[in-house]
Chain A
Amino acid sequence: MGTVESTSTLTPSGRSITVSLPGWPGNIAGQHVDVRLTAPDGYQAVRSYSIASVGPAELVELAVDKLPTGEVSPYLVDDVQPGDMLELRGPLGGWFVWKPEQTGPVQLIAGGSGVVPLVSMVRSHTASGSDAPFRMLYSVRTPDDVFYREELAGSGVQVDYVYTRAVPAGWPTGPGRLTKDRLAASVFPVSETPAFFVCGPTAFVEAVATWLVELGYPAETIKTERFGG
C-alpha cells in the first residue's frame, strides 16, 4: 500500500501522481506497477502503469493518461488526492527495461502516453551520466498532449515530434500520422545498430515494429510494450 504524496497536471487528460511507498526496493527504467482498485461492493480492477521515476527513492512517480471509458484511469486522473491510499504491486517487468550498463545507441519511440517508461529511461540515462547515444521519436495528438516537454527539451536527448491532430504555430507540416518514410528519417540508421524501445497503443506499436523490420533493423533489437487502446 502506498500513500499519494502529491499530484500535478501534465496535460488536459494526463496527471502525474507521486506515491510514497515505504520499503520500495527501487526500480529499473521501463518497469511498471499494477494498481488495484477495490469498490465498496468488493469489485476489483487492476491496471498496469509505467513508472516515470527511476532509482532507489521510496517516492514513485506514475504518469497516467485518462481513458474516458477506463475503469481505473479516470479515478487516478480526476479523483485521487494527496493522503489517499493506493494498492500497488511492483516493481514489475524485466524485459522492457534499459540499464545504464547498456552502452549502445538507444532509439525510443513513443505513441501518446507510451512515452512514460521512455521518460524513465531518459532520466536513468541522465542520472547515471551514461554517454550512450539516445534519441526519441514521440507521436502525440496535439502540442498540448505532450508529457514532460520541458524536461525532455533539457535532457540533451534529441526528440522528434510527430503531431497527429494539431501542430504548433509555424510547424513546417500539417498534422498527420507517422509514416514509414517519416520513421526512417527520424531514427538512428541501421549501421549504428540501435536498440529500440517502442511503447504506445497496440496498433501504433505494431505498425512501427513492422516498418522497422522492413527497413532492415533486426527484429531482436526491437522491444515493444503495448497498452491496448
Chain B
Amino acid sequence: MRRPRAVASVAGVGALALVLTACGGGGTSGGSGGAGADELTFLGLNENETIAATLTALSEDECAAENEAQPLTVTQQSQETLDQQLQLLAGQDSLPQLFTSANAPALNTELFEADSTVDLGTALDELGVADGIVPAARSVVEQLYDGTMIVLPTELNIEGLWYNEQLLEENGIEVPTTWDELVEAFATLQAAGVQPVSQAGSGGDGWGITRWVGNYLLRDLGPEALQAVRDGDAELTDPEYVAAAQAVSDLGAEGYFGPSPTSIDYATALNTFLAGDAGFIYMGSWALAAFNDPEQNLIGEDAIGFLPFPEVEGGAGSADQMPANVGTAVSVSAAGYEDEATQAWVRCVVENYGTVALRDSGQITGFTVGEDVEVPALSQLVQDQIAAVDESVLWFEGYFSAAATTTSQTNGGLLGAGQLSGEEFMTLVQADLG
C-alpha cells in the first residue's frame, strides 16, 4: 500500500507545481511607477554618474516645473546585476518610470515586446519633440532594435583606437591606416619595451578584446557580416569568420595585449593607457570624461589621438564604417508613461538633456544641443567624427542573445591571451547562438 500512496503524493506535488508555475508571471497591471505616481523614479548605475547628475541638474533648472509635479528620485545599482534586476522588476510590473536600459539588447527587445516599455519613436512624435534626437543616434538605435526606437540615447559613442602620440613619435611610428601597419606598429613598440595595446579581458570585461574580432570581421567581410550571422546566412565557425578571431588570437600569442589580459579589468586597462604605459587602446568615446580629466589622464589631452579601426587589405569593409552605439541608454516604462506628469518629464528631458550633459560633463549624447557649448578639444574631435559618419556598424555581440554575449565576453580574455585559437573561440560562441 505504501508505494501507490507515495506515487500519488509525488504526482500530486508535481501537478500542484505545474499549476502554480502556469499561474506565475504574465500579469500586466499595477507597478510602482504606474499612473498617478508621486515621484519620478530613475534607476541608474553605480558605474555611470553622468545620467543621474544630468537628470538632477535638469530637475533643479530646466525641468523644475516637471519636478514640482513629480519630484525626481534616483536609485542606483551595479551594472553587473542590472539585467537581473530589470527582469525581476518587469516580472512584478514594478519597473520605475525611467531606468537604465539593459546591457543585453535582447532583453530590451523582450521588455518592449512584452509591452513593458514605451515605443519612443511614436511617443516623441506625439509629444512633438521627435527632432530632439540626432538622426545618427536614431539610426543607431533603430538598427539595433529592428527599426523601432525603444531607448533614449543618453550617450552617442563612436569607437576606435586611441593612441599615445608621444610614444608613437618616440618610436618612429607613423599612424597606421591598415591592419598590417597596425601589427607592425605593435611589433615595434614591443621591441622597444612598450606594451602595444592596453585591453581588458577579465571576466565580462572581455568585450575589450571581442571588439577587435567584430571590427576585423566588418573590415574584412563588409558591414553585413554580423547581420548575416543573425539571419542564419553564415555561422561564426565559417572559415572567413574564424580567420578574424584567429588574427586577434595571434596578437594575443605575441603578447601584444599585455602579460595577462585575463587579469586586467576595464579600469586598469584605461589607467594603463592614461598613465602612458601602452601605445594603443580600443575604446568608445564614453571614455572622454576620463580623457578630459587631468587627474586621470597623466599623458595630457593633447597627447591622445583617435584612429578609426584600420582597414584589412583586400577586405570588403572600409574605415569610414564607424562602430557606433548609444552606450548606456535610458528606457521608459509603459505603465509609468500613462501618467501625464511623466510624459512632461520625458518631453523636458528630450529638449534639454543634450545641452546639459555636454555643458556639465563633456558628454556627447544622441539629443540635439540647443545652445553653443564650449567643449574640450577631444570632445570636439569626437563630435566632428560623429558628424562625418556615413554608415555606422554595430559591435560584435550587438545581435547576440544574452547567453552568446556572456560566452563571447567571458572568453575574450583567453582569446586575447592567445590561450584560445580563433576556431575554439568561435565554436564556443556559435554553440550559444544555436
A binds B: no
**Chain B: residues with CB nearer than 8 A to chain A?**
none
